[in-house]
Every structure is written in structure tokens, then in C-alpha cells.
Amino acid sequence: MVSERSELEKGGEEEEVEETSVEKAFEGKVVPRWEKQITLRAMVVSLVLAVLFTFIVMKLNLTTGIIPSLNISAGLLGFFFVKIWTSLLTKMGMLVQPFTRQENTVIQTCVVASSGIAFSGGFGSYIFAMSSEIANQSPEANGPLDIKNPTLGWMIAFVSVVSFLGLFSVVPLRKIMIVDFKLIYPSGTATAHLINSFHTTEGAKLAKKQVSVLGKFFSFSFLWGFFQWFYTASDDCGFNSFPTFGLEAYRNKFFFDFSTTYVGVGMICPYIINISLLVGGILSWGIMWPIINARKGDWYSADLKSSSLHGLQGYKVFIAIAMILGDGLYNFVKVLGRTLIGLYNEFFKKKTEASSNDPDSSSSDSYDDRCRTDMFLRDQIPAWFAITGYVVIAIISIIVVPIIFHQLKWYYIVVIYVIAPVLAFCNAYGCGLTDWSLASTYGKLAIFTIGTWAGASHGGVIAGLAACGVMMNIVSTASDLMQDFKTGYMTMASPRSMFVSQVFGTIMGCIISPCVFWLFYKAFGNLGVAGSPYPAPYALVYRNMAILGVDGLSALPQYCLIFCYVFFGVAIVINLIRDLVGKKWARFIPVPMAMAVPFYIGSYFAIDMCVGSLILFIWRKLDKVGADTFGSAVASGLICGDGIWTLPSSFLALAGVKPPICMKFLSRAENTKVDGYLES
């Protein structure tokens, strides 16, 4: 959420069936050695795209926390940039090495690994939750022990020592996951299909058309963002405050804010996610909050500030937390159960095969599988290297992290690192079965367990949030790495080149992501404030989870706990119904995690995303082939253009350059008063 990216954007995809052999189409093409797959041009292109995608992810993190999968965009743009590079060198007679699908895979892996740090690094969740900006919105636990304001130095140091452990934790299991168990990893498989298609003759022609479409919508989105900037001289100004459905609806967060980013995100996200967001917004801002607000002075004091958690804000935050925890608990149990059942079945199958006289099961593998397995097993990563790397980095982390967060004692981290490989394996295995990474769920478990262990008097809030970061980085990186191993397996990329590109991407992300967040933090003074352009909703949610872990339920206003119990149960029941009715009917039942997001920040972004869904729906009705072919390119262009506009707008804000115009909307009565005041 992904910052619940994984829970919202993953799942439901199925592996495409290859009716014809892919590898026969590449017969005669030599697969370069793993060192040749990692080229200078690949690293340069990866760096450029990593900066672009980090801005996109960071903006999404700090607005709604919903982050779509950007793997396909990374693969497409990587193909485009290197093709331009190689075309120029070919014309100059200087081309040394042709562009291969293995190099394309390395670029995609590096970019996703780098921009993924913007999510797992917690800049929109647990790290920002430590700041005084978020602490001031909670009346409890805002003493010196429970606050740590962001600085560039400690953020880079922290993500650098916790982001690499996940890479080493599951490397020894790559053969078991990919070759023996043949786990699907739908996102990795889909990305591999795309990259393979790019490097065929017809696929390359289509890719050029897709990139052309992406470029057009990128330019439109960037220029639209630039145009909108001129009308935002103050708060509640501009197109992003347009009262599309009237002023009363606007006050209840129902309006279309003309964000090309979220229109594009809506085109990528499944329809049910966008509808779930809208349902959650209608339920909360359309029904529940007006009813609870009418109880002001009865259920809670009428003199409280709007940001007080003892008032309406408390219902918004804690009911959302209850739904998130209910959904997370259900899916944790479900995925863990499927993981254990899957492991048992695999073990039983192997045992049966070993005791039978049947020929080796590999003989039934397809031609593609035999070719890919041979390449995948050729360049081994020694187990001793992975184990040594894990131990060395863990020791460094155990020393460094308590220096950064003195509330998080070294023995807390030792306990996390002892159990983390098991959880990383479970997350990677479950992701292979379902495409769901439960990294944020494991992070929330760390918040409650370590926070409670530390206690309120010893900075349990910061200890819990920091422990969340340690745990979340390990399990998130582990599942991402295994997804990329699947992509590499299907594109004949060497495991060594995949691992090295992950390391390069992680190194870049540990520097780029903190710097991009720091730019946002310094450029926008109201970062994290409800109603601002960047409210960072999950920062307040994560902080209040930590407060609940150490202080209990004392902060809840009247009847709020009852609501929390109800919505916690509702989230579990809805998920259970979704699983029982099957895929045919589950696509009509809302997703609780998505429903919870607008409870705190409103429905405006959900309306944008539903507009994106509507555009894609109509497009598919009119031209299904065109929509399926170019839909992702259009969405990526809309997201990337608006996302990269954030960079110049940040520099303008830092330089003190303010927009010249405020476009604001008033009711007729208010306008009459303003006119009378100006004429007097």
C-alpha cells in the first residue's frame, strides 16, 4: 500500500499459456555470458529510469499510497532507450554489442529494484511516521523519545543496511522455487512474455508503436501538470480543487481533481480495485462521517481540533486501521496456509517420484523449459556466498541500526534476523502462488510485537516503526528478487546477472529514494498534513498502529472501538465470501483493503481512477485489440509525465517561485460577500 502496493495491485493474474515454443524463435542467437549481459549502457539507462520511477512512486506514496506495478513500463522504456542508443551507434559504425533480451531484463530488474526502495523504504509510511509533522497530529506519544525527524544522512544509512539482507536470504532457494516447484510468479511471467516479444521482429515493430504512444501521452501529461501549476498560488486553488459535483460534495471529498497520474493508475489497476475505492469513499465520506459528525458534542467534544484523534479524525483513522488489519490477517493466514499445503504437496510429489519406477519427470518438460533450466542452472550463485553475505550484513545492521534508533535495541534486531529468512521464504513462496506480497503485513506484525516488547517508556513507538522497516525490507526484497529470477528464467538471463543487477538497483535506490523524499520534504512545507497536496495518509496510519501497540486503546473516542471490531470482522467476512464464491463472482465483490484507503483521505483520487477504468472499458468495447495493445502505454505515459513534473515543481518551490494565479470556487452567497467587501 504497495503503501499497500502488494495487497492492492497484485493477485488475480494467471500465467499465459505458450501455445508455440518461444525459444525456437531465438534459435541461432547466442546467449551472452552473464558479464556481457550487464553493460555500461544498461546501467546508464537504469539510472535515468530509476530516477524517473522513484519520483513516480514517491508521489504516489505521499498522496494515496496506491502504487501500480511499473514492471511493464520499465521494460518498455528500457527497450526504447537502448534501441535509440544502439541505432545511433550502428549508423556511426561503432556498435560493439547488439541489444539482447537478457540485457533488457537486467535493465527492468535494476529499475524496479531501485524504485522499489521508495516503497519498502517507508518514506510514505513508517519513516515519515516518526516525524514531528505526523506526531503533532496525534495527542499521544509525541515526546522526544517518540519522534525522529528525517535527515538525509540517517535515512540513507538506514535503508543501506537493511535493504540487502532480503537479496541473500532466499538466493539458495532459487532452484527449488523456479525449477523444482515451478511456481508461477504471474507478474514476473507477464514481464518475461513482454520482453521476449520485444526482441522478435514483429514485437520490435509493435514496441516502437507503443513507445510512440507512451511519448505522446507523457508529453501531454507533463504539459498539463505545468499548465495546472499556474493556478495553484494558495491552498484549495487550481484544478485539483475543482468542485465537479458541487461545493457540498467537494467539502466531503467528492470531486474530480484532473490528476493524470491517477487516471493512468486507474487504467492499470483492476476494475474491482477502483470500484472498491469508490465504495469505501461513499460508505465513509458519504454516509458514516456525516452521521458521526452530527454526534459532535455527544460522542466527542465539540471543541476539539479537526485533527484531534479524540474526535472525528479518530474514527477515520482507527476504522481504516481495523479494516487494514482484518484484511491483512485474513490474507496472511490464507497465503501461509497455501504455502504450507503447497510445500507438503511438493514434498509428497517428490517422495512419490523417488519411490516410483517412472522415468525422470524432466523428460515431460517442454523444449522451452529444458533450454531455460539448462541456462538457469549454468551460472550458480554459491550457497556459502549467500549465507556469508547474510551473516556479514546482519552483523553490520545489528551494530548500525541501534546507533540510528537507540530505542531499537540490538537484541530486538537479532530476533528479527533469526526469523526473517523463514518469513522471507514464506512471502516469496506465497507470492509465487498468488502474486501477493504480504511485506506490509509482516511489517505491521513487527510494529506490534517489538513496540509492545520495548514499551511506551522506552520509545516503543519509534522501536516498532524501525522494526517494521527492518522486517519489511527483508521480506519485500526477497519476493521481488524471486519474481525477477522468474523473469530471468523465461528470458534466458543468467541468475548471476539478475542478482548483480538487483544489487546495483538496490545501491541506486538507497541513494536516490532518500534524496527524492528529502526534496519533497524540503520543497513542500505542508507535507503529511490532511488536505494538503501530499497528505501521506499511511504515515499517520502506521504511527497510530505503533501507538496502539504500546499504549493500547486509550486514544479511541466513544464507540470507536465497537466500530473497529465491526469493520475488522467485516473485512474478514468479505474476504471469505470472495474466496468461497469463486473468481466468476469475486470480481463483483469489493476488496476490503482498497475500501479502507479513502476512509481517511477521501474519494477524489478514487473518482480519478474510476475515470481511468471507464476510459479503458469504453476503449475495449470500441477496439479491444487496440486497447489491450496500447492501454498500458497510454497509462504509463499519463503516470510518467505527471510524475516527472514533480521534479521541476519541487525546484520551483525550493527557489521560492510561487504560481501567479489562484483559481478558487465560492458559493453564490460567499461571492456576494466578497464582491461587497471589494466594492466598499
The whole-angstrom separation of Cα 192 and Cα 585 is 30
Compute the 3-state secondary structure of the chain and give helix, strand, coil in percent, each to the nearest 5. 70, 0, 25
* Predicted local confidence at residue 351, as pLDDT: 60
**Residues forming a β-bridge with 662:** 232
Determine the Cα–Cα distance for residues 377 and 476; give it in Å rounded to an integer: 25
- The span from the CA of 171 to the CA of 495, in Å, is 9
pLDDT of residue 162: 93
Return phi, psi of residue 6, to 5°. -65, -45
Sign of torsion, CA 97 100 102 107?
positive
Model pLDDT, residue 157: 95
- Cβ–Cβ < 8 Å for 467, 369: no
Alpha carbons 385 and 172: distance in angstroms, whole number: 9
Q: Rounded distance, CA 116 to CA 319, Å?
A: 28
**Which pLDDT tens digit goes with each residue over 385-410?**
989 999 999 999 999 999 999 999 99
CB atoms within 10 A of CB 619: 17
pLDDT of 455 reads: 86
- What is the C-alpha separation between 107 and 73, in angstroms, rounded? 11
- pLDDT score of 354: 54
Note the pLDDT of residue 413. 94
Low-confidence ranges of the chain (pLDDT < 70): 1-20, 95, 139, 141, 307, 346, 349-364, 434, 553-555, 680
Question: For residues 245 and 579, what is the distance between their CA atoms, to the nearest angstrom?
Answer: 36
Which of these, 228, 230, 278, lies nearest to 257 by C-alpha position? 228
Rounded to 5°, the CA angle 221-279-66 comes to 45
Could you tell me which of 194, 171, 74, 184 has the C-alpha nearest to residue 486? Answer: 184
Note whether 540 and 137 are within 8 A (CB).
Answer: yes
Q: Which of 676, 596, 675, 644 has its CA nearest to residue 260?
A: 644
Summarize pLDDT for 484-542 with one digit per residue, the tens.
899 999 999 999 999 999 999 999 999 999 999 999 999 887 888 877 888 888 898 89
Q: How many CA atoms lie within 13 A of 134 on its CB side?
A: 35
Helix (H) or strand (E) holding 418: helix 410-434
pLDDT confidence of residue 2: 40
Tell me the sheet residues that pair with 300: 296
Contact criterion met (CB below 8 Å) for 115 and 57: yes
Task: Tell me the whole-structure pTM to 2 decimals.
Answer: 0.83
CA distance 498 to 508: 15
